[in-house]
Amino acid sequence: MLETGTKAPDFELPDQNGKMHRLSDYAGKKVILYFYPKDNTPGCTKQACGFSERYPQFTEKGAVVLGVSKDTVASHKKFEEKYGLAFTLLADPERKVIEAYDVWKEKKNYGKVSMGVVRTTYLIDEKGIIIKANDKVKAADDPEKMLGEV
């Protein structure tokens, strides 16, 4: 996990519609950049729907929400349409940004060890500095918690 007070690495990734986004596109706004393991899984769906429900409140506070996983653009599109998500999902199948943000880690699940995305949320300020970093994310609670941090 990257430390608070450090400059957030810039990146370029496609969204669920294939449009490219850079972190630098959002200079002047707060960015909630959250990394999640997989589209259409129970925890990830709860987290995404929570951010979507609160999206108007985030925009009122001058913040944007960007969700990142290693799923494809097509997978993100289906996920967005299925749940009517109101924010941007970024596809990182090559894990460039996932690794730049240090969220690709060894995970243990029922005694089995594998590599995967550790659910992590960063709050990045208007100048591109990480002001909050949380890798102990509870999917259902994260959107409300982050709304309080913005």
Active site residue ranges? 44
Residue type, position 91, single letter: A
Residue 40 φ then ψ, to 5°: 60, 25
DSSP string, 36-99: -S-TTSHHHHHHHHHHHHHHHHHHHTTEEEEEEES--HHHHHHHHHHHT--SEEEE-TT-HHHH
Angle (nearest 5°) at CA 117 between 150 and 52: 40
Residues 47, 139: contact at Cβ < 8 Å?
Answer: yes
Residue type, position 51, single letter: F
The tokens of 100 are what?
């730049």
The tokens of 109 are what?
């699940």
